[in-house]
Amino acid sequence: MIIVFNPAAGQRRVRLLWRVVDVLAENGVRVAIERTDAPGHAERLARKAASCGAELVVAAGGDGTIAEVANGLAGSSTRLGIIPLGSANVLARELGLSFAPRAVAAALAFGRTRRIFPGLARAASGERLFVQMLGAGFDAAVVRHLPLRLKRAVGRSAYVWQSLREVRRYAFTPIQLRLDGVPAEAGSVIVTKGRLYAGPFLLAPDASPARPGFTVALFERTGPLAALAYGAALPLDLLPTMPGLRLTRATEVEITAAGVPTQADGDPAGETPVRLTDAPAPIDVVIG
């Protein structure tokens, strides 16, 4: 078993990793740990492991690390494991994974798998898989400008602080896009594979990463007051019922507006225009 570990997760979360490794060792499971040292390194490590025939590569980190490892495993038969060490851990929550060290270790050693269908984003800067979501607009601006030190220190609360800063300076320019060829417009857009957003909070009740296609959340009301209202509804799980939020299904999403910031699985992902489709092949994730 190869574990790709992001040391930026912070010491408190890293203790979970070592407890999982200890349990695996107690049960005779051989583990090799590879540490990442820069953005993109997890992808390269995962790709090398898959090319050498690894049956299981485990992402130990947050959603961004998981997405990088998934990018490295794309097109291979190598299974993806997860040790959730991030601030939000959206995919882990989406799949109902345990956060208890013994349960995580048992899942990795003996667990069954669930097939998920990642998305593929194509932009001028290149291609990348995303396992949970891609956002364009206000939430991506928050992610882009969020100080990493603050995120490490206070976790999800950092996004609240940064949102309050960003709402005063973000332009809220309308975003043009096409959903399966049909024109649409919104203030912000979140293209999601799953139900959850920003941790345990509900965004798209009928979405599932286990089926192809996307649920597209179109935030049609725009401006600072609308952004604050959507943000206040999020922790109450009222976001899907908010006026001005439209949820629709699509198999291909083209965000045609230029220069809008994007984020993929909680990491900055450049700018639009961008075209989103399903990745060429699904990935098998160990779920316990």
Q: Per-residue pLDDT tens for 50-60?
A: 999 999 999 99
Encode burial over 187-217: b for 16+ CB neighbours within 10 A, e otherwise: bbbbbbbbbbbbbebbbbeebebeeebbbbb
Fold classification of 120-279 is Tumour Suppressor Smad4 (2.60.200)
Segments of the chain assigned to CATH 2.60.200.40: 120-279
pLDDT digits (tens, 9 = 90+) for 115-165: 999 999 999 989 999 999 999 999 999 999 998 777 777 777 888 889 999
pLDDT for residue 10 is more than 70: no
What is the average pLDDT score of the chain? 94
User: What percentage of the chain has pLDDT greater than the value 90?
Assistant: 88
Q: What is the pLDDT of residues 67-96, one digit of tens each?
A: 999 999 999 999 999 999 988 999 999 999
Domain with CATH 3.40.50.10330 in the chain: 2-111
The answer to whether residues 115 and 284 touch, using CB atoms and an 8 Å cutoff, is yes
pLDDT (tens digit, 9 = 90+) per residue, 211-230? 999 999 999 999 999 999 99
Domain 2-111 -> CATH class: alpha beta
Per-position DSSP letters for 84-143, written without gaps between them: E-SSS-HHHHHTT---SHHHHHHHHHH--EEEE--EEEEETTEEEEESSEEEESHHHHHH
pTM of the full structure: 0.94
95 vs 175, 183, 188, 194, 230, CA distance in Å?
31, 32, 26, 9, 25
Residue 8 has pLDDT above 90, yes or no: no
Q: What 3-state class would DSSP assign to 189?
A: strand
